[in-house]
Each structure stands twice: as C-alpha cells, then as structure tokens.
C-alpha cells in the first residue's frame, strides 16, 4: 500500500495540520481591519480637477475627538486585542525564535523580564566553601605570576611561561607585517610590567660612586647633572663591580627622583618614611665633602627580569665595596626596595602614540607651577612623532580616571606652516616638568585599588543627561599620577639612518590601574604586541636585543640552551630524508654557536649525562690556566668605532689595553696590568656585534654562519657593487654557477648570526651578528689592500 492516502473525490478541501498552523501564525501576526460599508452613489457629471499648491487644502482645521474615536473604534479595539493575545516569540525571526524559546524553556529568562527570578536552590558545596573567581585565579599563580592585563591577553595572544611570568608571545591573528606598519606609521603598545624595578635610597655622594662601579664607562656618568636632576633617564649597561670590560650583565635604565627647587635650595620631593620590606646595607662611613651633596636621594633602576638576581647582587656588592673604602664615621644606609608589584609599565611605539595619549588621558592642572606641564600637554597632540622631542625626557603628570573619558578619540595634529619659526615641538626637559607624585609610596599604595568599579561608572554614564558624552570628573574621583618617558630605538654608528629609527613613549602608572589605562589606550585602533613584536622592533632599528644578542651573559646562556633544546627536538622529530644533514655541510654545532671555537679558544669540557669525570676539580683548573688567562667577552659601547679605528691604525700592541684603561679610569677603576701580553689577551677574547646587509638576493637566518672572503672574491664583489647592471644575473647562469660552487671550509668561519631574517624596513635580507675583534681588524686591512 502506498504511504499516501488516496482521496475519494480526487481533490481534498481539508487543510493539513501544518497548513492550519501556518494559518494560525499568519492570523496572529495580522491585525483585522474593518470591512468597508456601502458607499453612496456618486453624482454624474463632468470630472473637474482643481489644481492646488497646498496638499493640506480642503482638510478641516479641527477634528471632533468623539466622532474620530467612534469611526476608528474597530481598529483601536483590534490593536489592543492583538497586543494582549500576541506572544513575544512572534517578534523574533524564524531562525532565532527557536533558540530563544529553548533558552526560556530550560530555565533561562527573557531580556524583557523586569527581574530574573533568583534560584532558591542551595549551592552543593555550601556557601562558605564556594571558590570565588578571584581565589581560583590566585591559586593558579603560585608558580607563575600574571600581569594585570593577563585575562585580556590570554584571549587574543599566544601565551608562554617566561622569566617567572605568563607573557604574551605574539597575537593569534596574522599580525607580523601590520605590527611593523603600526610601529612605523601608527602606534603599537606592549605591556612591559614584567620588567624588574628596584629603588635605591641613600645619600647622593654614596649612590653615585656605587653606580659608577657597575655602569658602562663608555656611557655618561650616572652622576651627570642632566640625569641627576631627574629631567632625563640614563640608558646604560651593568657590569659586575670593577670587572669592566668583563662580566656584562644587562642593559639598565636609571631614573633619578626630580628635585623641588625652592628659593635656590634643592630638596627631594616628599616620600614615604620607610619602604615596606626593604633590605638595607649599613656601614659606618665618613661622608666626604665635594660636588656631590649628602642629601638623601631616590633612584629607580629598570632592567630585564632575567637578570634580576645578578643586578641586585652587583648593586649590593658595589655598595659594600664603596662603603668599605671609607673611614669610620656616622652610619649610612642604602635601602634597596623591589617595586615590581607597585608599578605598571606600558611601552608605546609609533608616530601616532602622541595623539593616542592626548586623546585617552585627561590631565589635572590644579597645582601651582604647572605652566610647563600645560604647555607640554597643549602641544603633545601636534607633535608628529616623539622623535622630535629630546631623548629620554621625563614628564610627570596627574590625570583623571581614564574611564571617565571613555570612549576616547585620538587627537588630530594641527597643520603647521613651514614658515613658523616656533613649532610646537620646542619642549625641553626640566625639573618642574618631571615632578610626579608617583615617587611617593603612600600615594601608590593609596591608589592600589580604584575607588569606583566599572559598573558604578556605567550607572553614572546611563544617568547622563546627554547620552554619549563624557562623564564630568567629580571631587571624589581618583587623580592618578603617571610618568611619561620618551623612548627611542636607534642604532649607533654612521650606518644608521633616520628612517630605521623608531620612537615612542614609556608610560608608568600605579599598580591596580592596568586595565583602566589599557582599555583606553587600545580602544582607538592601537595594535598590541607581544615578545615577538618587541624583538622585531629592535631588529628593524638595527639595535641588539637582550638577551638574544648579548653574548656571554647569563641570560644569553639560558636563552641559547632553551633554543638548542627546541631546535634539536624539532630536528629529531623529522625523518632523515626530510631534515638537514649537518654532517654533510660540515656544521659541527648546528643549534648552539661555538663562540670559543670562533675566537680560537679551547672549548670548555663537556660532561655526558650519566658519567662522572675521573679527574679532580683542581686538575681541571690547572688545565684551564694554560690558556694564559684569555677570557671571552663582548665589546660594545658608544666609543666602539673610535677605539677600533685607533687600534687598526696603530702599530703599538698595547694600544687596545691603553684604551680600556682610559675608560676604567673615568670611573675610578684601577688599570689592568700585564702590558703587551694582557693587550693580546683582550684582543683574542673580544667579540663585537656587527650588522650584516645583503647586497643582492638572499635572506640570512638565525644561527647562520659568517665566512671570510678571499681577496679576489672581495674585488669581484666590489666591482659588482660599483656597476649595478652587472649584478643582474640570468637565472640559468645562476643555476649553473651554483652547481659548481664549493662549500667554504670550517677554517673560514669568522662569526655567527644572532638575529636574521627579511627586513621590512630595508626591503631585503638583514642580520645582527657577532665576530671576533681580531677578525674585524683583518677585514679592515683587507679593504685597504
């Protein structure tokens, strides 16, 4: 039998259940209309059209409400009946009504309900045993610390456990090129709150010698007037006390607390009486009289977290050494306090960072003597880039809660006339401009938690008479002190160009205000970068990046060991036919650079896993001492090119040692003894950082090998560079010549690449490498032949 019932009459007039349901739904969606009554017959006659200019002509000037209601009574009653009997599900489209109905059936509530019913069921674990959201997050931070913006980052970025923090490495979206474009043309922000921040507090005439024992002699002295006043920050490097040029630790930024100038007398700004849990270094000393004053000063040191223990240990050692050299006298204390939990730091990069800051923040100018701050803020929006401002200048401000101004709008710079002799960028660092209450610990702790939550500000915003306008700051709203520091990435040397430099700001805010500032700073289209984007910014500007480009430091050793394990694991995972055969290429160390081998020094003995060396430790020390005390070290600094030129043009073997002793004497360090033999040891162990630019096609890669060239090869390449037309090679000829080319021998290895890939700023291959200083001098002599 057929599944379809046969109809007796051929055609059935009955509706199916589905048709009846459709009919009911259609009737429920329609409002009935009263049928038209019989009309009166019209009079016959010729049609007459009267032209009118007004469409309302002929209508009565007033209506009778009772007669109008009686005539429309049916329509009014039908509309009321339809509104009472209609279901809310009919207001939804068909593809959404089903899901909304299911949500309501399974205990959900509709958004038009006045108040959702509270659940009367008791929690299973009991009210006292319920784990709150905050407690669950804190329990997950026992071994790894989170930043205040962690929840925002973990939804949009790839996260890794690095240096004791859960940090963002790169965005989940494809953002390599857009991030570089933002750093060059727009703005990009990075949460750098994981950086270590240490406070030193003590007499000025004690702090300066302590810092000079550790800081790079090639950089300006930490006690210079331009830095000591607090108007600028000092970018330098830290070494072990008195060990220069050996034992490099890491880069460091030094910020002095600004002075308050009143009636020609200098005094520090008020600060907290005692820092919380601050380790102190105490010694009986006699304070000498000189150019440095004996007043108590405060310094902030900001450096990479991977070098935290080494930097703090070096500072304590330097303080102990300096205090031991002084004679007996009154007791002096140097307090060392860690402030990483009291400060948030955001790094801006890009020319539009000035407009973003101007549009997101609303400063408070209710104090006297803030004329320079008002001038700076009024001209900040007109600054095309922070690179036009003085380097490392410090600006202290007090701003309202940035959530009051949400959503922000970027400031638009004004069009400047080329004939204007006083552009708005003529802003110079000063003590009054750098002052900020953020140095006061009591102020920082008082602002650890915002006074108003976001929901309370949303209620104020909902009650705003004019929707969409900013909230007016009230007397009880928070005033947050912040510090702005001009930031630039510029390569040292003659080869650096202005187009490769990147400029921005470092924004320092109190802890507890990370998300309040973060949402306002990224709302207007500012891109967010992770560790990869930060490293690429240094690479594109041609500056070394810590720790991957700082060889022979402890942080670099840890980084290179981790990278070796990752590369080895990836290589071993592939079958032999699908991986590179390093033995055939003659690469002995494919995943870890052999710097001792490149320098011509004996490699340190390695102990295999599961084996114990048979020789005693004293015997190993005797074997190492045969090397005449040659110790590998990284030679870098502002006077590097000058010293290399001096050594290459001199015939004296002690020239290099004399230059190093000259730098040591600038910091009050004793000279290195040994004469010509010591100078040779310094040259043999020195490694310099260089920039490698590809003259034709090809892209260098990380861990790449740098080979030397013969004289005839150098002359041939110089001829090609002189005549660009000869550099164009037929692809077929290039393939034939590539087959005949021999792989260079391992004796011609002169360096390794630390960072290398395709440079978007240069439009070609670019790399940062390291080569021995001796090989560098040989290359300079080869160019003169």
53 belongs to a structural domain: no
User: Hey, which residues does 167 pair with through a beta bridge?
Assistant: 160
Strands 331-338 and 259-262: unpaired
The angle, 0 to 180 degrees and rounded to 10, between the axes of the packed helices 176-185 and 531-540 is: 60
3-state SS class at 749 = strand
pLDDT in tens, 78-98: 888 887 776 655 555 555 555
Alpha carbon separation from 515 to 191, 284, 730 (Å, rounded) = 11, 46, 57
Those residues with Cβ within 8 angstroms of residue 213's Cβ, 6 or more apart along the chain or in another chain: 241, 242, 318, 321, 322, 667, 668, 669
Do the Cβ atoms of 302 and 394 come closer than 8 Å? no
Asked if the model's pLDDT at residue 161 lies above 80, the reply is yes
Q: Which pLDDT score, from 0 to 100, does residue 286 have? A: 34
Give the separation between CA 175 and CA 181, rounded to whole angstroms. 10
Of 332 and 610, the one with more pLDDT: 332
Do the Cβ atoms of 491 and 691 come closer than 8 Å? yes
525 belongs to a structural domain: yes
pLDDT in tens, 107-124: 555 545 556 667 777 666
pLDDT in tens, 606-650: 544 444 444 444 433 333 333 457 899 999 999 999 999 999 988
665 belongs to a structural domain: yes
Same domain for 523 and 385?
yes
Q: Which pLDDT score, from 0 to 100, does residue 619 have? A: 39
Q: Which pLDDT score, from 0 to 100, does residue 268 have? A: 45
Same domain for 467 and 598?
no
Q: Which pLDDT score, from 0 to 100, does residue 626 have? A: 35
Within 263-307, strands assigned E span: 265-268, 280-284, 296-303
In terms of Cα–Cα distance, which of 384, 385, 373 is closest to 429? 373
Give the separation between CA 328 and CA 284, rounded to whole angstroms. 6
User: What average pLDDT does this structure show over 418-422?
Assistant: 53
Residue with the two structure tokens 């002599």? 781
pLDDT in tens, 351-366: 999 999 999 999 998 7
DSSP calls for 225-269: HHHHTSSB-EEEEEESTT-TTS-EEEEEEEEEPPEEEETTEEEEP
- Environment class of 674 (CB within 10 Å of its CB; exposed 0-12, middle 13-18, buried 19+): middle
635 belongs to a structural domain: yes
Residue with the two structure tokens 């730098």? 663
**Picking from 15-24, 40-49, 471-480, which range would have the lowest pLDDT averaged per residue?**
40-49
- Half-sphere exposure of residue 528: CA atoms within 13 angstroms, side-chain side: 25
- Most trustworthy range by pLDDT among 26-35, 275-284, 444-453, 548-557: 548-557
Q: Which pLDDT score, from 0 to 100, does residue 301 have? A: 97
Of 517 and 101, the one with more pLDDT: 517
Same domain for 455 and 536?
yes
H or E stretch covering 205: helix 204-214
Same domain for 451 and 518?
yes
- Residue 679 has phi, psi (to 5 degrees) of -65, -40
How many C-beta atoms surround the C-beta of residue 219 within 10 A?
16
Asked if the model's pLDDT at residue 775 lies above 50, the reply is yes
Same domain for 348 and 489?
yes
Tell me 15's DSSP state: P
Alpha carbon separation from 763 to 33, 155, 187, 488 (Å, rounded) = 73, 33, 21, 22
For the chain, what is the mean pLDDT?
Answer: 83
In terms of Cα–Cα distance, which of 134, 139, 143, 188 is closest to 166? 143
Asked if the model's pLDDT at residue 699 lies above 80, the reply is yes
Kindly report each contact of residues 103-109 with a partner whose C-beta sits within 8 Å and lies 24 or more positions away, as own/partner.
none
Asked if the model's pLDDT at residue 571 lies above 80, the reply is yes
Structure tokens at 754: 């630390």
Q: For CA atoms 633, 639, 641, 643, give the dihedral sign.
A: negative
Do the Cβ atoms of 450 and 516 come closer than 8 Å? yes
Same domain for 535 and 635?
no
pLDDT band at 271 (very low <50, low <70, confident <90, very high): very low
- Give the range of the structural domain holding residue 679, as residue numbers without chain letter: 593-602+629-728+744-784
Structure tokens at 696: 């034709």
Asked if the model's pLDDT at residue 518 lies above 80, the reply is yes
513 belongs to a structural domain: yes
Structure tokens at 265: 């007398």
Q: Which pLDDT score, from 0 to 100, does residue 50 have? A: 57
Structure tokens at 777: 């001098």
pLDDT in tens, 737-757: 545 557 788 889 999 999 999
Instruction: Report residue 568 CA to chain centroid gap.
Output: 30
Tell me 88's DSSP state: G
Asked if the model's pLDDT at residue 503 lies above 50, the reply is yes
Give the separation between CA 193 and CA 165, rounded to whole angstroms. 10
- HEC string of 608-660 equals CCCCCCCCCHHHHHHHHHHHCCCCCEEECCCCHHHHHHHHHHCCCCCHHHHHH
How many C-beta atoms surround the C-beta of residue 24 within 10 A?
10
Number of structural domains found in the chain: 2
In terms of Cα–Cα distance, which of 204, 217, 323 is closest to 668? 217
The angle, 0 to 180 degrees and rounded to 10, between the axes of the packed helices 371-380 and 353-360 is: 120
749 belongs to a structural domain: yes
User: What average pLDDT does this structure show over 100-107?
Assistant: 53
pLDDT above 90 as % of the chain: 53
In terms of Cα–Cα distance, which of 345, 341, 202, 335 is closest to 268? 202
**Picking from 107-116, 204-213, 440-449, which range would have the lowest pLDDT averaged per residue?**
107-116
Asked if the model's pLDDT at residue 490 lies above 70, the reply is yes
User: What average pLDDT does this structure show over 219-242?
Assistant: 95
3-state SS class at 396 = strand
Same domain for 507 and 634?
no
Q: Which pLDDT score, from 0 to 100, does residue 102 have? A: 55
pLDDT band at 262 (very low <50, low <70, confident <90, very high): low
Asked if the model's pLDDT at residue 203 lies above 50, the reply is yes
Asked if the model's pLDDT at residue 188 lies above 90, the reply is yes
Asked if the model's pLDDT at residue 733 lies above 80, the reply is no
Same domain for 378 and 488?
yes
In terms of Cα–Cα distance, which of 23, 373, 353, 431 is closest to 187? 353
Of 348 and 368, the one with more pLDDT: 348
437 belongs to a structural domain: yes
pLDDT in tens, 126-137: 667 778 888 888
Q: Quick one: how many helices (H) and strands (E) in the chain?
A: 27, 21
User: What average pLDDT does this structure show over 64-69?
Assistant: 85
Q: Which pLDDT score, from 0 to 100, does residue 331 have? A: 77
Number of residues assigned to the chain:
785
Same domain for 665 and 536?
no
Give the separation between CA 515 and CA 149, rounded to whole angstroms. 6
Same domain for 535 and 396?
yes
User: For the domain that residue 375 is a member of, what is the CATH number?
Assistant: 3.30.1360
- Residue 605 has phi, psi (to 5 degrees) of -65, 140
547 belongs to a structural domain: no
Same domain for 649 and 531?
no
Residue with the two structure tokens 């429920």? 28
Tell me 49's DSSP state: -
Do the Cβ atoms of 310 and 554 come closer than 8 Å? yes
Q: Which pLDDT score, from 0 to 100, does residue 273 have? A: 38
- Environment class of 632 (CB within 10 Å of its CB; exposed 0-12, middle 13-18, buried 19+): middle
Do the Cβ atoms of 514 and 148 come closer than 8 Å? yes
Same domain for 775 and 670?
yes
């Amino acid at each position: 039998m057929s599944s379809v019932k046969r109809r007796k009459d051929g055609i059935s007039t009955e509706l199916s259940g589905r048709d009846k349901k459709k009919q009911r739904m259609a009737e429920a969606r329609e409002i009935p209309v009263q049928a038209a009554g019989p009309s009166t017959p019209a009079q016959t006659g010729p049609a007459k059209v009267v032209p009118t200019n007004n469409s309302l002509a002929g209508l009565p000037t007033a209506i009778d409400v009772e007669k109008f209601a009686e005539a429309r009574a049916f329509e009014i009653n039908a509309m009321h009946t339809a509104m009472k009997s209609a279901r809310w599900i009919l207001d939804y489209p068909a593809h959404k009504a089903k899901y909304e109905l299911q949500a309501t059936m399974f205990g959900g509530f509709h958004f038009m309900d006045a108040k959702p019913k509270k659940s009367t069921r008791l929690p299973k674990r009991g009210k006292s045993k319920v784990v709150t959201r905050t407690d669950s997050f804190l329990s997950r931070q026992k071994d790894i610390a989170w930043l205040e913006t962690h929840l925002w980052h973990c939804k949009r970025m790839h996260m890794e456990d690095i240096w004791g923090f859960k940090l963002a490495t790169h965005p989940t979206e494809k953002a390599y090129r857009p991030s570089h474009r933002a750093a060059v043309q727009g703005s990009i922000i990075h949460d750098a709150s994981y950086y270590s921040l240490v406070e030193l507090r003590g007499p000025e005439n004690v702090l300066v010698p302590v810092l000079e024992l550790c800081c790079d002699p090639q950089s300006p002295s930490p006690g210079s007037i331009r830095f000591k006043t607090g108007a600028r920050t000092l970018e330098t490097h830290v070494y072990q006390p008195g060990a220069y040029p050996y034992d490099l630790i890491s880069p460091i930024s030094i910020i002095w607390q600004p002075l308050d100038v009143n009636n020609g007398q200098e005094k520090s700004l008020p600060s907290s009486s005692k820092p919380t849990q601050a380790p102190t270094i105490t010694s009986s000393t006699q304070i000498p009289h000189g150019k440095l004053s004996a007043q108590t000063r405060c310094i902030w040191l900001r450096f990479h977290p991977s070098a935290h223990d080494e930097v703090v240990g070096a500072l304590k050692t330097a303080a102990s050494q300096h205090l031991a050299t002084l004679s007996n006298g009154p007791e002096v204390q140097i307090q060392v306090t860690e402030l990483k939990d009291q400060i948030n730091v955001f790094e801006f990069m890009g020319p539009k960072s000035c407009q973003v800051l101007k549009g997101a923040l609303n400063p408070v100018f209710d104090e006297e003597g803030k004329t320079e701050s008002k001038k700076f803020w009024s001209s900040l929006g007109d600054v095309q880039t922070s690179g036009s401002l003085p380097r490392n200048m410090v600006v202290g401000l007090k701003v309202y809660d940035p959530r009051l101004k949400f959503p922000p709008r970027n400031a638009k710079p004004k069009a400047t006339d080329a004939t204007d002799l006083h552009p708005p960028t003529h802003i110079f660092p000063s003590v009054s401009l750098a002052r900020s209450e953020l140095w006061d610990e009591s102020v920082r702790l008082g602002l650890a938690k915002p006074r108003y939550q976001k929901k309370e500000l949303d209620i104020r915003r909902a009650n705003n008479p004019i929707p969409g306008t900013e909230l007016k700051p009230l007397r009880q709203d928070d005033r947050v002190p912040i510090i702005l520091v001009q930031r630039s990435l510029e390569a040292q040397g003659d080869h650096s160009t202005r187009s490769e430099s990147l400029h921005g700001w470092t924004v320092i805010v109190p802890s507890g205000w990370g998300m309040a500032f973060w949402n306002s700073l990224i709302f207007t289209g500012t891109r967010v970068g992770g560790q990869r984007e930060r490293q690429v910014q240094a690479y594109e500007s041609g500056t070394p990046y810590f720790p991957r480009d700082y060889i022979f430091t402890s942080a670099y050793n840890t980084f290179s060991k981790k990278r070796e394990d990752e590369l080895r694991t990836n290589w071993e995972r592939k079958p032999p036919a699908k991986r590179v055969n390093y033995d055939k290429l003659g690469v002995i160390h494919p995943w870890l650079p052999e710097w001792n081998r490149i320098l011509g020094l004996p490699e340190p003995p390695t102990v295999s896993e599961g084996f114990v060396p048979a020789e005693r430790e004293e015997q190993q020390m005797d074997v190492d001492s045969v090397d005449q005390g040659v110790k590998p070290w990284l030679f870098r600094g502002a006077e590097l090119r000058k010293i290399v030129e001096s050594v290459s043009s001199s015939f004296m073997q002690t020239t290099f040692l004399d230059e190093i002793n000259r730098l040591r004497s600038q910091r009050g360090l004793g000279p290195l003894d040994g004469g010509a033999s010591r100078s040779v040891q310094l040259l043999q162990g020195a490694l310099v950082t260089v920039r490698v630019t590809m003259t034709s096609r090809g892209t260098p890669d990380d861990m790449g090998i740098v080979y030397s060239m013969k004289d005839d090869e150098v002359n041939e390449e110089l001829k090609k560079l002189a005549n660009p037309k000869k550099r164009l090679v037929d692809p077929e000829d290039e393939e034939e010549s590539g087959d005949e080319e021999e792989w260079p021998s391992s004796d011609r290895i002169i360096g390794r690449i630390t960072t290398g890939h395709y440079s978007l700023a240069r439009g070609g291959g670019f790399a940062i490498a390291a080569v021995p200083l001796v090989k560098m001098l040989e290359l300079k002599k080869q160019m003169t032949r």
